[in-house]
């Protein structure tokens, strides 16, 4: 097991991440605080956050992560000032227009989770285009959580089950975890092995609540615009130092 070392300036030395988790999900927090600490508008933090996002996608793809899910806009983010919401929408447009062709060439497959309703028609069309263009790719699956909220996702899945039961197509006794999982936005995707949250906050904020039942959670003190490749590898090293037991006793304990 390797350990991250920090020099006096707080830079993390990169000793390699170790075994690569199949699915990494990230709550990209701290754009606003990064900007405020520098006397810049919050929007500048988001702009820099998008550059971090671009770097981390390439890095995750390069080291062999299979699935990378990024919490880009939550269903609660509509409560922010209209100007900030508008800016985040423009960033998504900009990101897809600028990067889609390159991501496609790198064989990245894009999936978008969240509600399309409520989004401007041109944004919904861009998201559809990104998904359909890249659907046949076999590289990194990039899952963009946009207008996403986990409780609404679960409620929608339960509603779909209720409709099927009411129509006589489904026996209530057949409702199990798989039946719910198959009706979530993430149907067909593996559960995240590792959930990273940047910026020191230690909560899930309505992100992948069902899917992260057995995920390892790693909290980084770094604001998202400063979260670089070395920090990503550091989070994976911390993940590798954990023992995942999935409710069992774990290999290190054995049977008594
Ligand atoms: C949290 O920072 C971040 C977000 C709400 C949005 C994440 C957006 C990006 C990383 C930019 C790229 C986006 C797209 C759509 C490509 P915060 O504003 O909550 O930070 P704070 O907690 O310090 O205020």
Query: In the chain, what are the domains?
Result: 21-149+191-240 (3.40.1180.10)
Atom 14 (ligand 1) nearest CA: 92
Atom 24 (ligand 1) nearest CA: 32
76 is in an annotated binding site: yes
From the candidates 29, 99, 193, 233, which is the catalytic residue? 29
Active site residue 191: no
Q: Which helix (H) or strand (E) holds 49?
A: helix 42-63
Active site residue 99: no
For the record, the structure tokens of 179 come out as: 């039946």
Are the CB atoms for 163 and 155 separated by under 8 Å? no
Nearest ligand 1 atom, CA 42: 18
**pLDDT value at residue 10:** 54
Decide whether any atom of ligand 1 lies within 6 Å of the 30 Cβ.
yes
Alpha-carbon distance of 30 to 231, in angstroms, equals: 15
* Regions in the chain scoring below 50 on pLDDT: 1-5, 255-256
Q: pTM of the prediction? A: 0.92
What distance in angstroms lies between residue 209's CA and the mean position of ligand 1's atoms?
Answer: 19
H helices of 135-255, in order, are: 150-166, 177-181, 229-241
From the candidates 77, 137, 206, 240, which is the catalytic residue? 77
203 is in an annotated binding site: yes
**pLDDT value at residue 2:** 40
Closest CA to 141 of 192, 206, 211: 192
DSSP structure class, residue 203: S
Instruction: Using the structure block, give the residue that is written with the tokens 């991501």.
Output: 103
Decide whether any atom of ligand 1 lies within 6 Å of the 53 Cβ.
yes
Burial class (CB in 10 A: 0-12, 13-18, 19+), 127: buried
Q: Which helix (H) or strand (E) holds 97?
A: helix 82-105
Pocket test for ligand 1, best of 43, 50, 72, 228 (most atoms within 8 A of CB): 72
Query: In angstroms, how far is CA 15 from the centroid of its own chain?
Result: 24
Query: 23-27 and 109-113 as β-strands: parallel, antiparallel, unpaired?
Result: unpaired
Nearest ligand 1 atom, CA 50: 12
């Amino acid at each position: 097991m390797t350990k991250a070392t920090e020099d006096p300036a707080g830079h993390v030395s990169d000793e390699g991440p170790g075994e690569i988790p199949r699915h990494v999900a990230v709550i990209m927090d701290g754009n606003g605080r990064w900007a405020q600490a520098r006397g810049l508008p919050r929007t500048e933090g988001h702009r820099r956050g998008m550059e971090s996002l671009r770097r981390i996608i390439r890095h995750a793809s390069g080291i062999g992560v299979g699935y990378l899910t990024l919490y880009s806009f939550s269903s609660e983010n509509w409560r922010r000032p209209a100007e900030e919401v508008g800016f985040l929408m423009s960033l998504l447009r900009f990101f897809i227009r600028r990067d889609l062709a390159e991501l496609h060439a790198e064989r990245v497959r894009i999936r978008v989770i969240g509600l399309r309703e409520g989004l401007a028609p041109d944004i919904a069309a861009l998201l559809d285009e990104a998904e359909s263009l890249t659907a046949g790719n076999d590289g990194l699956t990039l899952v963009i959580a946009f207008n996403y909220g986990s409780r609404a996702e679960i409620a929608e899945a339960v509603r779909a089950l209720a409709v099927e039961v009411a129509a006589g197509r489904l026996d209530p006794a057949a409702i199990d975890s798989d039946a719910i999982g198959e009706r979530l936005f993430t149907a067909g995707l593996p559960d995240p092995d590792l959930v990273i949250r940047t910026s020191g906050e230690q909560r899930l904020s309505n992100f992948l609540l069902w899917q992260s039942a057995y995920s390892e959670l790693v909290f980084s003190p770094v604001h998202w615009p400063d979260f670089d490749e070395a920090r990503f590898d550091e989070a994976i090293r911390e993940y590798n130092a954990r023992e995942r037991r999935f409710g069992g006793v774990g290999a290190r304990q054995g049977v008594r």
